[in-house]
């Protein structure tokens, strides 16, 4: 029974680690791409004035 609980806790920890890593990659990419778009929009609006 103890081995089953240990395996279950390990599986849950792996799941949380995978979700957290994926979320971090998503947010990192979102920030990088979002900042590029913001800078491009600011540059174009400054040129258009």
Give pLDDT, residue 24: 97
Give pLDDT, residue 25: 97
HSE of 9, CA atoms in CB hemisphere, 13 A: 6
Question: pLDDT digit string (tens) for 2-41?
Answer: 899 999 999 999 999 999 999 999 999 999 999 999 999 9
Query: Rounded distance, CA 18 to CA 24, Å?
Result: 10
**Where residue 1 falls among pLDDT bands split at 50, 70, 90?**
confident
Query: Rounded distance, CA 21 to CA 11, Å?
Result: 15
- Total domains, the chain: 1
Give pLDDT, residue 2: 87
**Where residue 49 falls among pLDDT bands split at 50, 70, 90?**
confident
What's the domain range around 17? 1-49
């Amino acid at each position: 029974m103890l081995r089953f609980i240990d395996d279950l806790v390990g599986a849950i920890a792996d799941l949380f680690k995978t979700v957290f890593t994926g979320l971090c990659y998503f947010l990192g990419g979102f920030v990088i791409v979002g900042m590029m778009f913001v800078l491009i929009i600011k540059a174009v609006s400054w040129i258009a004035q």
